[in-house]
Amino acid sequence: MDGLPLELPLFVIATFAGALVAGLSGFAFGLVVSSIWLYILTPLQTATLIIAFGLLVQGFSVWKLRRALDWRRLWPFVAGAALGVPLGVGILTFANPAYVRAGIGLFLVLYSLYALFRPTINPVKAGAAADAGVGFLNGVLGGITGLAGILVIIWCGLRGWPRDQQRTVFQPVAVAIFLMSAFWIGASRAITSDIIKLFFIGLPALLIGTWLGLKLFGRLDEASFRKVVLILLLASGAVLMFPKF
């Protein structure tokens, strides 16, 4: 942050909003916060904080799902991610912030459009090799941005897996990528005192937003809420694609 008066409140508000959405939907924390954080934080700060907060939010959910996990289905994604994460973190440490911001903006736009208008298609038939390939690409994206589960979410949908089954795949994979990314970012000595301070500043907003999201879960119309979130992400992504003034 550059010390501007509005930056710290924006950081806290974005953290709360991301946690609220994640509590309601089970994902999208990184998508929501990155659309704002990338205007007030560096890509490295943004990715590191998404990873740190994501470990808390998703880790709790995975712990609750631990008895339903199918390791035979999970291992190709995790194995692929183990190769992709170091590459993504390497790119993150030297990437031009403007290019990263524009790239994530484009990704948000494409993902939002896909989720809003995706056609009904027959389930894709694929095996462990394809799952590992998706895991690799997801690991690269997670290492660069902290967005650790989006490609797996899309892939699970293309495979035609039921919603509950999808959750037992994309959430554990996301946690695995968070852990790997945290290790590689820590090994590169890129975690600064500013990032640690921001983590503790945002932690109360994260906990309150997650708690409220879990309380509201099931009380709101899921389809309408999903459309609102996707439209907001689409708008945020479009804004990120423009240069920062």
pLDDT at 77: 93
Do 43 and 233 contact (CB within 8 A), yes or no? no
The reply to whether 30 falls in a domain is yes
The model's pLDDT over 75-85, given as tens digits with 9 standing for 90+, comes to 999 999 999 99
Q: How far is residue 117 from each of residues 27, 29, 78, 114, 191, measured CA to CA in Å?
A: 19, 21, 29, 5, 39
Task: Note the pLDDT tens digit of each residue in 152-176.
Answer: 888 887 888 877 777 788 888 888 8
What does the alpha-carbon distance between residue 140 and residue 215 come to, in Å, rounded to a whole number?
Answer: 33
Could you list the residue range(s) of the whole structural domain that residue 44 is in? 7-240
Residue 214 domain-assigned? yes
And the tokens for 157?
């949908």
Cβ within 8 Å of residue 72, ≥6 positions away:
none
Q: Does a structural domain hold residue 98?
A: yes
pLDDT at 229 (0 to 100):
66
Query: Looking at the domain assignment, is residue 2 inside a domain?
Result: no
Q: How far, in Å, CA of 28 to CA of 36, rounded?
A: 13
**Tally of structural domains, the chain:** 1
The predicted pLDDT at position 183 comes to 85
Low-confidence ranges of the chain (pLDDT < 70): 1-5, 25-27, 97, 101, 119-121, 217-226, 228-229, 232, 236, 240, 243-245
Residue 1 lies in a domain: no
Inside any domain, residue 245: no
Q: Specify the pLDDT at position 2.
A: 52
Cβ(85)–Cβ(139) below 8 Å: yes
Q: Is residue 162 part of a domain?
A: yes
pLDDT, position 245:
43
pLDDT value of residue 13: 94
Do the domain assignments include residue 79? yes
Question: What's the pLDDT score for residue 78?
Answer: 93
